[in-house]
């Protein structure tokens, strides 16, 4: 299956693609679509709508997002769909435009999960405007490269005072006994994290969101990461802190995620 790139529902023009290559101002969201539906679709669209208003002063709106998604996935049983917002009126020398952004949709083959398990290293870093899923991602790739140069799979971000926030492309949760702890810090509120939390609430599983220091991670029984491509993946080590497997609890987390049914586009 090839990737198809559309802008406002039409084949992408070279000028629009060149602008996106040269100006990394915008926001996006991405997720798996199967049979015209996606888990957490309402959360993805609400987050994209908020980002559009914050970055451009106006949003295309949910109805337009849905129309463009339907065009993008037509004829596909399953795909990975990315919606990106940009404006050709905004550039390095002309940043002041306010108005509705264009919407680029990219439908491509669904990617595999990030990994079956990961070892991560802590890295002092906070993404710019961390509450936004924005397109400025050089720092994320650089962090993953730095982690792999040290022999790890990925990087876990901490701030200058060693408070844990998020990973490069994912959120993290910690396990103690049969409870889940989500770190509280400036970060992106992940859709998959929200779906797991909603499912755990329905199941009556204890969870909390609070600040977590790096020197506290050794007191947990386990850890996991989650994102749209990887509902649950065990973190087997954070630097020199190793975690034993908790397969039953990890299965419970995946069941919590799966308890939110796909929502039709």
Of 108, 131, 154, the position where a domain reaches its end is 108
Q: State residue 3's pLDDT score.
A: 75
Q: Are residues 101 and 130 in the same domain?
A: no
Q: Are residues 89 and 122 in the same domain?
A: no
Q: State residue 63's pLDDT score.
A: 98
Domain contains 130: yes
Domain contains 228: yes
Domain extent, residue 15, equals 4-108
CATH code (residue 154): 3.20.10.10
Contact of 252 with 258, CB cutoff 8 Å: no
Q: Are residues 47 and 68 in the same domain?
A: yes
Q: Are residues 70 and 169 in the same domain?
A: no
Walk along the chain (265 residues) and give the pLDDT tens digit of each residue.
567 999 999 999 999 999 999 999 999 999 999 999 999 999 999 999 999 999 999 999 999 999 999 999 999 999 999 999 999 999 999 999 999 999 999 999 999 999 999 999 999 999 999 999 999 999 999 999 999 999 999 999 999 999 999 999 999 999 999 999 999 999 999 999 999 999 999 999 999 999 999 999 999 999 999 999 999 999 999 999 999 888 999 999 999 999 999 999 9
Domain contains 42: yes
CATH code (residue 11): 3.30.470.10
Question: DSSP alpha helices (H): ranges in 79-172?
Answer: 138-149
For 225, the token pair is: 């990461």
Q: Are residues 30 and 142 in the same domain?
A: no
Domain contains 113: no
Q: State residue 246's pLDDT score.
A: 86
Domain contains 150: yes
Q: Are residues 128 and 102 in the same domain?
A: no
Length of the chain: 265
Of 108, 128, 162, the position where a domain reaches its end is 108
Domain contains 129: yes
Residues 6 or more apart whose CB falls under 8 angstroms from that of 177 comprise 221
CA distance 108 to 240: 38
Q: Are residues 129 and 247 in the same domain?
A: yes
Q: Are residues 44 and 140 in the same domain?
A: no
Is 50 exposed, middle or buried (CB count within 10 Å of its CB: 0-12, 13-18, 19+)?
Answer: middle
Of 66, 86, 108, the position where a domain reaches its end is 108
Q: Are residues 208 and 160 in the same domain?
A: yes
Q: How many domains does the chain have?
A: 2
Q: Are residues 254 and 151 in the same domain?
A: yes
């Amino acid at each position: 299956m090839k990737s198809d790139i559309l802008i406002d529902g039409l084949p992408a023009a070279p000028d629009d693609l060149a602008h996106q290559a040269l100006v990394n101002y915008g926001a996006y969201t991405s997720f798996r679509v199967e049979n015209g539906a996606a888990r957490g679709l309402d959360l993805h669209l609400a987050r994209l709508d908020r980002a559009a208003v914050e970055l451009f002063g106006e949003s295309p709106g949910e109805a337009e997002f849905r129309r463009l998604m339907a065009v993008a996935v037509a004829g596909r049983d399953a795909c990975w769909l990315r919606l990106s917002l940009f404006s050709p009126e905004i550039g390095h020398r002309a940043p002041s435009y306010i108005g509705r952004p264009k919407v680029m949709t990219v439908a491509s083959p669904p990617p595999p999960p990030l990994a079956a398990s990961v070892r991560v290293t802590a890295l002092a870093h906070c993404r710019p405007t961390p509450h936004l899923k924005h397109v400025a991602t050089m720092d994320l790739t650089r962090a993953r490269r730095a982690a792999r140069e040290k022999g790890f799979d990925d990087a876990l971000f901490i701030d200058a005072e060693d408070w844990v926030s998020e990973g490069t492309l994912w959120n993290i949760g910690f396990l103690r006994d049969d409870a889940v702890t989500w770190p509280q810090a400036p970060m992106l509120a992940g859709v998959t994290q929200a779906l797991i939390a909603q499912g755990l609430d329905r199941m009556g599983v204890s969870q909390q969101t609070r600040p977590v220091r790096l020197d506290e991670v050794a007191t947990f029984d386990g850890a996991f990461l989650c994102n749209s491509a990887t509902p649950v993946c065990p973190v087997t080590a954070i630097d020199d802190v190793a975690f034993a497997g908790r397969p039953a609890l990890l299965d419970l987390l995946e069941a919590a995620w799966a308890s939110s049914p796909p929502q039709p586009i």
